[in-house]
Structure 1
Amino acid sequence: MSEKIAVIGGGPAGMIAAGFAGSRGKNVTLIEKNNKLGKKLFITGKGRCNITNATPIDNFFDNVTTNKDFMYSGFYSFTNEDIINLLKSYGLNVKIERGNRVFPFTDKSDDVIKVFEKFLINNNVKILLNMEVKDIYKDKEEFIIKFKNKDTLRFQKIILATGGKSYPSTGSTGEGYKFAKKLGHSLIPLRPSLVPIEVKDSWVKEVQGLSLKNVNLTSYIEDRKIHEEFGEMVFTHYGISGPIVLSMSNYINKYKNKNIKLAIDLKPALSEEKLDSRILRDFEKYKNKQIKNVLKNLLPQRLIPIIIKKVEINEEKPVNQITRTERIKLVYTLKNLFLTFKKFRPIEEAIITSGGVSTQEINSSTMESKIVSGLYFAGEIIDVDALTGGYNLQIAYSTGYLAGTNI
């Protein structure tokens, strides 16, 4: 009788791992605690499912911010083209949008999950839903899985694909980390990634809901530049969010207890000299107007009082009375609107979890544990993460593929 394999976790990594293990004639059981598969996948890409990214696979490494070298074998063994071809083989076409993001042609994440379900059924994978794992331990050559409903099952090999700790409503509650630790693995501390940022500056509440487009966001730690992002962001009651903020979080979450500052360049297309010339032209054109009215051509209305306050100019001062020193300070503030980092929003609000099972203890070519024979890992449970744009899902597929084909 062939050895029994359990895949714990019915997300993208688990479904790919189980399907490919089944395609090799293995006796595979996929265990999921929810009442359906792919619950977190269902909400990705705002419900449309950002399947992967269409950039050449070589470029993926530039978008992986934690342990990119670990993904070398995974990305080249199961590429973005491979996942697209798998979906197409089941009749699901895709389209490419801004930033090379790949979506199902139907714009429905449910259609992607349906393909994965067919893939599992076609490869004779037994699917157990509503089965929450309580404990896993190894007894000689077998893994014993105890469930919350008091059932117990035995398997010769297991793949842990239980996801991270973000979006706990989808079932990602971090249980897999406990199982891995109990089986002898080291855990890199968990951190929220791709997550909004809270700031200490109270003025952000005054511009809550204001979106900024085509701005530059730069992070500094004790005056040392860490990273910069260009694009869109939004002010919230607690701080800042939006695409460039989420990406930024991925770079600064590796620094603890440091004095992190963020600077918004509201006019990145203009150098300080060009911006100064532009402001001088406006001042000449509207020389008798008050500063608060002249800045309407340059800034969103709600941001004007904030900027004027920071530059320390009376908002009713006519522009023909503004000194060169005040003008230079205005230019500097428009190019460097500083915010003081307070903390990240909770991990439950993060798109992904950074940290997890140490890559040092996993064979990057097979995803098998170097510590426990017969134990494999796939997906977000591993300490690998990337930027938004379909890269994290590709990590799930690629690691799932290696685990499934090597178990």
Structure 2
Amino acid sequence: MKQIIVIGGGAAGLMAAVIAGREGARVILLEKMNMVGKKMGITGKGRCNITNSADMAEFIKNTPGNGKFLYGAYERFSNEDLLDLLHSWGLKTKVERGGRVFPESDSALEVRNIFMKILKKYNVQVHLNEPVTSISVQENRVVGVTTDKEQYACDAAIICTGGASYPLTGSTGDGYVLAEKVGHTITDIRPSLVPIVTNETWVKEIMGLSLRNVEVSVISKSKVQAKQFGEMMFTHFGLTGPTILSLSHTVGKLLRKKNPQITIEINLKPALTAEVLDKRLQKDFDLYSKKQLANGMKDLLPVNLIPIVIKLAELNPAKPINQITKEERLRLCHVLQHMTVTVKELRPVAEAIVTAGGISLKEFNPKTMESKLIGGLYGAGEVLDIDAFTGGYNLQAAFSTGYVAAMHAVHGDEE
């Protein structure tokens, strides 16, 4: 019977341990925290966005960080395969807006508890509070793993330690160190799915304000580099929310270029053409013609956003609406569809939902997740140089790579 050691008890590690156990291996899961699945417990705001109902092409498109590497893993273990497996374990799921799949219970804890139950079913030994310090290699093959408590012999080791985001959940980049010690290359580690810091200080005046159905664009060198439609929020330092987190991947890439000049443009009324918006504004101005400008836009915008829009249009909020010129009205229309902030930086990697960068994929076989340098060494999940947008894509990548790694670790090329 093969002995397989899984390092890290996040989504990839839990799947790898369960599958290796199911396939007949003796499995030891080593987790440095006091519980497994800690980060999984906070995904989807504690509801656990397990996967997405999209097709494979959409999965690859929503994985800007080396998505094509995942073709093999998704062919072997797709979102449908994942849901079939979870349903067979008794987890009921539902599909929400944007194809996002959640447990019916809206509880990430239920997902973690089901994994714990299945680990027991397959006699997986779970060792908590036991960080791995090194991986032993002889003649280019894994022979064992050392922790701060014990040395273990093994036929295969699967690194599933996650990235460097949310360090309080245990993701502190340990896997990068372990892989580097045995000869692997680590690519530039940076935040992905992270809020954006702006140079403008007026964002503080509307911190906490959420906007829905807006179009947000990243602009650099006078070109739109990326665009998202949906929700966003202003914070004391800049911008956050689903559209911003998704765009942060593009912003991060642009920031690494020489002399980056990046702006974020917010279209508050993307459903309207400039002409239709102007007519709508004229209608409101006719209705509130005797009021001051600051009191004449309440039907169009959230109240606390009005002073900002007026300021950006360089108008006097106390000016009577019946004295607003056509040129001034068009300036307001322009700001409503081109509200612009300049990017200073991204928030730190510790605040990111996902880490971009990781163990170089050039050194791993995408069909098996096995190292090309060391036999019996596998990588799965966010520790690899893979990152995706929000929507269940990152968890599916973790589950699929964990599954593929475990199957090959147990069966080799026979499976």
Kindly state the Cα deviation for residue 405 of structure 1 after the two structures are TM-superposed. Answer: 0.3
Kindly state the Cα deviation for residue 28 of structure 1 after the two structures are TM-superposed. Answer: 1.9
| TM-score after normalising by structure 2 | 0.94
- Residue by residue over 1:44-67, the C-alpha shift from the partner in whole angstroms, topping out at 9 and shown as x without a partner, is 122121111122334212211111
Instruction: State how far apart, in whole Å, the 1-side matches of 2:142 and 2:301 are.
Output: 65
Instruction: State how far apart, in whole Å, the 1-side matches of 2:224 and 2:253 are.
Output: 14
* Residue in structure 2 matched with residue 100 of structure 1 by the alignment: 99
User: Does the 8 Å CA contact 2:142/2:157 hold for their aligned counterparts?
Assistant: no
* Residue in structure 2 matched with residue 175 of structure 1 by the alignment: 174
Kindly state the Cα deviation for residue 78 of structure 1 after the two structures are TM-superposed. Answer: 0.6
- Residue by residue over 1:253-305, the C-alpha shift from the partner in whole angstroms, topping out at 9 and shown as x without a partner, is 22215111001111111111111111122223333322111122222111111
Instruction: State how far apart, in whole Å, the 1-side matches of 2:316 and 2:104 are.
Output: 54
Unaligned runs of 5+ in 2: 410-415
User: Does the 8 Å CA contact 2:133/2:178 hold for their aligned counterparts?
Assistant: no
Classify the secondary structure of the residue corresponding to 1:297: coil
* Residue in structure 1 matched with residue 397 of structure 2 by the alignment: 395
* Residue in structure 2 matched with residue 195 of structure 1 by the alignment: 194
- Residue by residue over 1:295-335, the C-alpha shift from the partner in whole angstroms, topping out at 9 and shown as x without a partner, is 22222111111111121111111222222222221111111
* Residue in structure 2 matched with residue 51 of structure 1 by the alignment: 50
Are residues 1:228 and 2:227 paired?
Answer: yes
Equivalent of 1:339 in 337, 341, 348: 341
* Residue in structure 1 matched with residue 62 of structure 2 by the alignment: 63
Work out the number of aligned pairs and report it.
Answer: 405
* Residue in structure 2 matched with residue 371 of structure 1 by the alignment: 373
Bigger drift between 55-64 and 371-380 goes to: 55-64
Instruction: State how far apart, in whole Å, the 2-side matches of 1:10 and 1:285 are.
Output: 61
Kindly state the Cα deviation for residue 222 of structure 1 after the two structures are TM-superposed. Answer: 2.2
Instruction: State how far apart, in whole Å, the 2-side matches of 1:300 and 1:31 are.
Output: 50
Aligned identity (percent) is 48
Instruction: State how far apart, in whole Å, the 2-side matches of 1:268 and 1:297 are.
Output: 16
* Residue in structure 2 matched with residue 148 of structure 1 by the alignment: 148
* Residue in structure 2 matched with residue 82 of structure 1 by the alignment: 81
| TM-score after normalising by structure 1 | 0.96
Classify the secondary structure of the residue corresponding to 1:264: strand
Structure 2 matches for 1:288-327, cutoff 5 A?
288-327=290-329
* Residue in structure 2 matched with residue 73 of structure 1 by the alignment: 72
* Residue in structure 1 matched with residue 413 of structure 2 by the alignment: none
Classify the secondary structure of the residue corresponding to 1:176: helix
Classify the secondary structure of the residue corresponding to 1:36: coil
Kindly state the Cα deviation for residue 30 of structure 1 after the two structures are TM-superposed. Answer: 1.1
Kindly state the Cα deviation for residue 185 of structure 1 after the two structures are TM-superposed. Answer: 1.2
Instruction: State how far apart, in whole Å, the 1-side matches of 2:57 and 2:274 are.
Output: 37
Moved over 6 A (4+): none
Instruction: State how far apart, in whole Å, the 2-side matches of 1:58 and 1:305 are.
Output: 43
* Residue in structure 1 matched with residue 250 of structure 2 by the alignment: 251
**Amino acid of the residue matched to residue 330 of structure 2?**
I
* Residue in structure 2 matched with residue 20 of structure 1 by the alignment: 19
Kindly state the Cα deviation for residue 142 of structure 1 after the two structures are TM-superposed. Answer: 4.2
**Amino acid of the residue matched to residue 183 of structure 1?**
V
What is the root-mean-square deviation in Å for CA atoms of aligned residues? 1.5
Are residues 1:132 and 2:131 paired?
Answer: yes
Kindly state the Cα deviation for residue 241 of structure 1 after the two structures are TM-superposed. Answer: 0.9
Instruction: Flag the 1:376–1:337 CA change in 2: closer, same or farther, 3 A.
Output: same
Instruction: State how far apart, in whole Å, the 2-side matches of 1:144 and 1:369 are.
Output: 15
- Residue by residue over 1:175-227, the C-alpha shift from the partner in whole angstroms, topping out at 9 and shown as x without a partner, is 10111111111111111111111101010011111111111111111211111
Instruction: State how far apart, in whole Å, the 1-side matches of 2:134 and 2:285 are.
Output: 70
**Amino acid of the residue matched to residue 21 of structure 1?**
A
